[in-house]
Amino acid sequence: FANTHRAIVFSIRERNGYRILLADPTSLDPRQITLVEEGASNRPWLIPPDSETDQERGVPGPTTLAFSPDDSLLVVHTQLSEDKYAYSLYKIEWPGKGLPSKAAMSRFVGPVEHEGPFFDENSNRPLFFVTRRLSPKESAERGTSFANSNIIAFRNGNNLQVVNSFVGSTVRTMPLLTSSGQPRYAVTDDGQWMITADDRGSVRIGNLGTGKTFDLTPDGRPAHSGPVVGVAISDTDSALQIPEYAVTVGEENRLKVWDLLSRLRP
């Protein structure tokens, strides 16, 4: 879904290709649907089964789509083959009303091919823009809660990779702590702050915009006596640009709420 316009972007997988379409979600009028991108694949969506019980999945095509906070950018993540993925970025010029035409969308980057997925496809936030929360006055003026940004981030293995979306180059990599072998982390809605924890009870806070990291406890001691099994972080305060609270859950069946303003305030 777009953030400031009445529009959605979605992909359709056809037998030997795909299409990415932009539409009005209230009407879905076929005459107003805009074709953003289409491509062909050397493998079909479903490969005929070798037996009555086996059926191998083919190439899904586009797997992740995301608008920037002001909808001026559209990020597209596409699977080309079993181990080849592509990343594209579109810049969109929106008209005063309605949907932009295909001519109003220009591709800045892509397809940039990559061995393995660019984004974590198992997360409910496969990729996000690293920005800042606007003050109530700015939010009312701009019609959005977040400042515009061309910096995106996504999980890549046991790291959060921060990338300049215009050129596809890595700005920084933020390590994630792991618990039970899996990265345990959460990110604020504006993509600015992260919290991550591990099996030893350690919890760390990081700023994806600056790359700075802090132990959750002032003296660096573990926040829990054993593995941390869950973390959460509150929204960033628009005046201070700091999240107010964090929550951690330990395997010892203890839930703790932490005051982050006293920890992170300069």
Tokens, residue 48: 């005929």
pTM of the model: 0.81
| Inter-residue contact 82 to 93 (CB < 8 Å) | no
Among 68, 188, 70, 66, smallest CA distance to 139 is for: 70
Provide the 10 A C-beta neighbour count for residue 180.
11
Q: What is the spatial distance between Cα 56 and Cα 50, in angstroms, rounded to a whole number?
A: 9
Q: What is the spatial distance between Cα 71 and Cα 74, in angstroms, rounded to a whole number?
A: 7
Give the model's pLDDT for residue 168: 72
User: pLDDT of the chain along its 266 residues, tens only?
Assistant: 999 999 999 998 877 778 899 999 998 788 889 999 888 765 555 555 555 555 555 566 787 889 999 999 999 887 777 677 777 899 999 998 889 999 999 988 766 666 655 655 555 567 889 999 999 999 999 888 999 999 999 887 888 989 888 877 788 999 999 988 888 999 999 999 999 999 999 999 999 999 999 999 999 899 999 999 999 999 999 999 999 999 999 999 999 999 999 889 87
Give the model's pLDDT for residue 124: 58
DSSP code per residue over 191-220: S-EEEEE-TTS-EEEEETTT--EEESSTT-
Give the model's pLDDT for residue 198: 95
| CA-angle at 45, arms to 89 and 156, nearest 5° | 45
